[in-house]
Chains A and B, each alone.
Chain A
Amino acid sequence: DAGVTQSPTHLIKTRGQHVTLRCSPISGHKSVSWYQQVLGQGPQFIFQYYEKEERGRGNFPDRFSARQFPNYSSELNVNALLLGDSALYLCASSLTGDVSIEAFFGQGTRLTVV
């Protein structure tokens, strides 16, 4: 069975550019969450979507946005990239949005902003 898949795996962008990261959840999972992991730190919550609706947003600027599609895949968009946006972006999928349900993480997209 396919796990959570994220694309691309690595990306290099220039300051001021825009980036779109993609996530396909495990088949049957309806919830997708996005996390940012800066080098040397734990993942930090960005967004959660369940049944195509935003159910939670972390403390990130409006340059960050996301959406979930009818097939439950998701995109994370970041505008006007800053050097500080360089990080590993992780997508986690779960059956429902309930915190007691195990979330499965993808391998992440490594974004480098130069």
Chain B
Amino acid sequence: TQLLEQSPQFLSIQEGENLTVYCNSSSVFSSLQWYRQEPGEGPVLLVTVVTGGEVKKLKRLTFQFGDARKDSSLHITAAQPGDTGLYLCAGPLSGGYNKLIFGAGTRLAVHP
């Protein structure tokens, strides 16, 4: 069974701090996606990582895909209150087609 575990579950930090959230699995994924979800909204795709060892940067966000394609991390530099939200990682379920398995998410609160 494919599972994605995210840690930590909750993170409360002050503006300007750095943070890293993790997404781990015992299964190999062909790709992993990171989403951010705000209250009352659907998830919004931030990035897709495909190649083992890949690092992608999106402004202050850095995403890394593990060499074995079983884990990923999201690092935020100098967090801002606008970064507050639920960060979800997701990977394709075996069997193809656009069906994803999601982790439970990391809920981030950045305080001014």
Contact = CB atoms under 8 A, between A and B. Distances in A.
Interface in A57-102: 58, 90, 92, 94, 96-102
* Interface size grouping (class) on chain A: 20 to 34
B99 A90 contact: no
A24 interface: no
Interface of B: 4, 6, 30-31, 40-45, 48, 88, 90, 92-93, 95-105
Contact of B102 (A44, A55, A94, A97): A44
Contacts of A102: 45, 48
Interface of A: 4, 31, 33, 35, 40-45, 48, 50, 55-56, 58, 90, 92, 94, 96-108
B97 A56 contact: yes
A107 B97 contact: no
Given A42-B102, A42-B104, A43-B102, A97 B97 contact: yes
Contacts of A56: 93, 95, 97, 99
A103 B98 contact: yes
